[in-house]
Structure 1
Amino acid sequence: MPNSQPAPPPPSTETPTPLRVWIVSDDKAGTVNQARGLLDRLSLRLPVPPEVTEILAKARVPFRWLPARLWALLGPQTAVRGLQTPLTPPWPDLLIAAGRSAVAPAAAIRRLSRGRTCVVALQNPRLPLAAFDLVIAPIHDNLSAPNLLALDGAPHRVSAARLLDGARDCPPDLAAFYTEATAACAPIAAVLLGGNSARYRFDTETTDRLAGQFAALARAGVRLAITPSRRTPEDAILALRIALAPYRHYWWDGTPPNPYLALLALSDHLLVTADSVSMLSEAASTGKPVHRIDVPGDPGKFARFHARLEELGLVRRFDGTLPGFVPPPFDETDRAAEAVATLLKTRAGGSPRGEKSV
């Protein structure tokens, strides 16, 4: 009996249209990297690279003095004009908003586009979460809504591919340091230093404690590779360098290129100060033992973040020793990207423009 089923349609030969994406973010490196990291992972799910526009969310007077809620109450036509960079149609397919000055204009664009722009807010937007299609915020913010994805940390740009690139592009002086340590069978510990912030103070007592602990590790044969940040106090840098002067170690002095990815990729242990959610999230994603260096201050909600990473077996408190442990897989950035991809597909009723069909 002949088959009466119709033949399937031939595969489409049309080139997929790129997804048009705006990243609207403030100028804080940690904030914009969250948005870029999310888009990096989302792009892996697209058949063609997206068309990306990055817009600095720098508010004009008087908007820079207004809280996001009041800014939003002025109405979408006014709110969208609150940045120094004009926001005008055509609106994007996807808008990723990160930072205080980004959220009110982003919510306004969602209204002005009549919902055609999918708007994703990173971090706590301090607006009703229903103003966005999706809010991706850390679990320690204690938010609750049907359109909320709560992460155990922050999205970031560290991935297996970027770690391989970091190892391959390791600066020559750091590569020589690692080669020498490996030949001596010496464990290598990267130290990622933050510094003073609104909640934390890198004080003299902390500096003295770390100087003694680092020197003790170096005497025991551990090779330390240290990178400070712009927030690390100069007196702390000087004291730590003096303490380590008798021992073989590596210290990044700020001369490009930045060895950050190489340190994450090639070190056996990662020591990270407690003041940086971003650095702890990035370190925890590497699969290396991560040791949190506590800094005096009032951690507030970040105490919940620290406790959560310990509960998951990703991070241990640094006590001057470096016990080995194998942390579980941890990739919250990919989980966030999958949520955005699913949202885009659901909104389109199948495979949206630029989205891979599965």
Structure 2
Amino acid sequence: MNKRPLRVWRFSDGKAGHDNQSGGLLEALRRLRPVEHHDLGASSTTTALAAWLFGRVPSVWRELPAPDLLLGAGHQTHLSLLAARKQRGGKAVVLMRPTLPLALFDLCLIPEHDAPPVRANVLTTRGALNRIQPSTVLESERGLLLIGGPSTHFGWDNTEIYQQITAVLQAHATMHWTLTTSRRTPADFLQGLPVAPDGRLGVIPVTATDRYWLPAQLAHAHQVWVTADSVSMVYEALTAGAAVGIFAVPLKRSNRISRGLDRLVEQGWLTPFARWRQTAQLTRPTGSFAEADRCAHWIITQWFG
């Protein structure tokens, strides 16, 4: 007899990055078995507490089939996860380190750069989960340049980035490159961007992309260069299976993000620009970086096997 679909409620705080993480896990679960899923907005703190403590359940929760699994990424989803589990059942899975005690959740998927404790309900991940899948159609003459911008942990210098981009373009005379920006990229960055010989550099600003654009590009790019501030794109490129280089940007101070990148360099997953200038070698991943699939497999085998 076929098993019925796994019923999943996914709570969202409306932030694209958080939805990318929970969506990646949801899609990985679907690759393992049929899934019936429902997307729900995270309730306000007052509403979630009323549901958790007093049973005042939002009407939409009462109308849906009881969940087997509840997923949420982002602090605003935490109380909704716990309240829905208490009132409707299911296992509560939180992505990223929660502000609430870890023991409240059935499973916490926490990136290693957040130094998660060793506990039975904690699964350490290499970076945040994402929707990217390992590619089988990488093209040796296609490359991708992913440009971020200044952030809490990193400064920015357009000229330094231009120089690194120019060096990469000159080193690969036959490769065709596509460059895209992010919401943090300075407004004047594209104005001073070097022109590649033979039209080998295409520029697609972030404003001209949608959520499907980057996965489609990563499915084919053999080489990917990412500015060090754009850690989520680093993990997405690694998941696709590309050889990944890191453009240097000014580091304000050592932090959990930079230390996480340093570990990936030490483990041979990434090549910093300075090392590439010395060796002219960009390291290809030697193994699989499919973290969403690994987490989904754990969930299925532990709870629904």
1:104 to 79, 82, 104: 79
> Which structure would you say has the larger Rg?
1
1:338 aligns with 2:291: no
CA deviation string 1:2-48 (max 9, x = no partner)? xxxxxxxxxx3xx53222111112222221111111111111221xx
1:36 to 7, 10, 23: 23
Match of 2:114 in 1: 141
1:219 aligns with 2:204: no
Match of 2:37 in 1: 52
User: 1:299 deviation in Å?
Assistant: 5.3
CA deviation string 1:40-69 (max 9, x = no partner)? 1111221xx311111232636x78xxxxxx
Question: Structure 1 length normalisation: TM-score?
Answer: 0.73
1:250 aligns with 2:250: no
Match of 2:126 in 1: 152
Name the CA distance, whole Å, in 2 between partners of 1:304 and 1:291.
Answer: 16
Letter in 2 for 1:135: C
SS in 1 for 2:188: helix
1:325 aligns with 2:299: no
Letter in 2 for 1:237: L
Name the CA distance, whole Å, in 1 between partners of 2:43 and 2:87.
Answer: 20
Letter in 2 for 1:93: D
User: 1:75 deviation in Å?
Assistant: 7.5
**CA distance 1:58–1:308, shift in 2 (3 Å):** farther
- Indicate if the aligned counterparts of 2:72 and 2:95 stay in contact, CA closer than 8 A: yes
SS in 2 for 1:160: coil
1:129 to 85, 98, 102: 102
1:208 aligns with 2:159: yes
Match of 1:304 in 2: 259
Name the CA distance, whole Å, in 1 between partners of 2:131 and 2:91.
Answer: 22
Name the CA distance, whole Å, in 2 between partners of 1:265 and 1:18.
Answer: 29
Question: Structure 2 length normalisation: TM-score?
Answer: 0.84
SS in 2 for 1:24: strand
1:22 aligns with 2:36: no
Q: CA RMSD in A?
A: 2.9
Letter in 1 for 2:203: W
CA deviation string 1:217-245 (max 9, x = no partner)? 333425432011222111112222xx226
Match of 2:190 in 1: 237
**Structure 1: unaligned runs, 5 residues or longer:** 1-11, 64-70, 168-177, 346-350, 352-358
User: 1:313 deviation in Å?
Assistant: 1.1
Name the CA distance, whole Å, in 2 between partners of 1:146 and 1:36.
Answer: 24
Name the CA distance, whole Å, in 1 between partners of 2:166 and 2:55.
Answer: 54
Match of 1:268 in 2: 222
CA deviation string 1:176-225 (max 9, x = no partner)? xx8xxx8xxxx543101122333333x3xx21011122223333425432
SS in 2 for 1:292: strand
Identity %: 32
Name the CA distance, whole Å, in 2 between partners of 1:160 and 1:35.
Answer: 18
CA deviation string 1:250-284 (max 9, x = no partner)? 11144356542343232231101222332111111
- Indicate if the aligned counterparts of 2:21 and 2:130 stay in contact, CA closer than 8 A: yes
Name the CA distance, whole Å, in 1 between partners of 2:264 and 2:236.
Answer: 12
Name the CA distance, whole Å, in 1 between partners of 2:296 and 2:259.
Answer: 24
**Structure 2: unaligned runs, 5 residues or longer:** none
Name the CA distance, whole Å, in 1 between partners of 2:27 and 2:42.
Answer: 20
- Indicate if the aligned counterparts of 2:161 and 2:249 stay in contact, CA closer than 8 A: no
**CA distance 1:79–1:269, shift in 2 (3 Å):** farther
SS in 2 for 1:106: helix
SS in 1 for 2:285: coil
Letter in 1 for 2:37: V
**CA distance 1:140–1:78, shift in 2 (3 Å):** farther
Letter in 2 for 1:309: L
Name the CA distance, whole Å, in 1 between partners of 2:303 and 2:133.
Answer: 23
Letter in 2 for 1:210: I
